[in-house]
Structure 1
Amino acid sequence: MLCAVYKSIRKSQTYLFIAKRDNFEPVPDALLTQFGPPALVSMLNIKADSKLAMTDANTVIQSIEKDGFYLQLPPPPVDYLEEHKKWRKKQLGIFNETD
């Protein structure tokens, strides 16, 4: 499936995939308002076995066929403090087991 990929100038790491270049008709107005003026990034020929960085190709294809667009949001932020606490708890558990 050939599709156009646009990035948001307002929302970092947010991309909009649509079936036809510059045809935003299927995209809800509220979404376009939040997205801001779209900036064309690329034209992609996505196939079921295509490797995409942040999502599954089948998900994109199905969403475009069903809704006319696919919105890719940025990954959730990593809570480094929480990750450190989990790591530290694991390390302390290993340390206590060797006593």
Structure 2
Amino acid sequence: MHCDIYKSGKKDEMYLYVARADNAENEHADPLSVLSDPLRVAFGRATFVMHLELSESRPLARVNVLHVIDSLQTKGFFIQMPPDGLINPNAVEPEGLRGA
């Protein structure tokens, strides 16, 4: 199964896997068109990262490849969330960002 991977413009380490159509005419389609409006807003601007051929015999680094393939077949997309512990909710905000 082929897919395109995009990174989120709003959250570090959040990625969108989109099932790739077999025809070339969808190449310039909006990758976020497969998402609902709330998910689209939460994901932010999508930046293309890479094209990938998924296979059961080729594991992915942070997610189970079988879950990704299943989600692509049923929903047309898969969202990979940032790993646990990457964002510290108790971290002190940098001075320039307070009240922004």
> TM-score normalized by structure 1?
0.72
Alignment of 1:45-60 (within 5 A): 45-60=53-68
Which residue of structure 2 aligns with residue 5 of structure 1? 5
Report % sequence identity: 33
Which residue of structure 2 aligns with residue 17 of structure 1? 17
Which residue of structure 2 aligns with residue 41 of structure 1? 49
Which residue of structure 2 aligns with residue 74 of structure 1? 82
Flag the structure with higher helix content.
1
Question: Would you identify which runs of 4 or more consecutive aligned residues in structure 1 move more than 6 Å?
Answer: none
CA contact (8 A) 2:31 2:46 kept: no
1:33 counterpart SS class: helix
Q: How many residues align?
A: 78
Ranges in structure 2 where 5+ consecutive residues have no aligned partner: 21-26, 87-100
Greater relative CO (CA pairs within 8 A, separation 6+): 2
CA contact (8 A) 2:8 2:44 kept: yes
Letter of the 1:2 partner, please give it.
Answer: H
Work out which of the two has the higher radius of gyration on C-alpha atoms and give 1 or 2: 1
Give the RMSD, CA atoms, in angstroms. Answer: 1.5
Which residue of structure 1 aligns with residue 24 of structure 2? none
Letter of the 2:70 partner, please give it.
Answer: Q
Ranges in structure 1 where 5+ consecutive residues have no aligned partner: 79-99
Instruction: Report how far residue 71 of structure 1 moved.
Output: 0.4
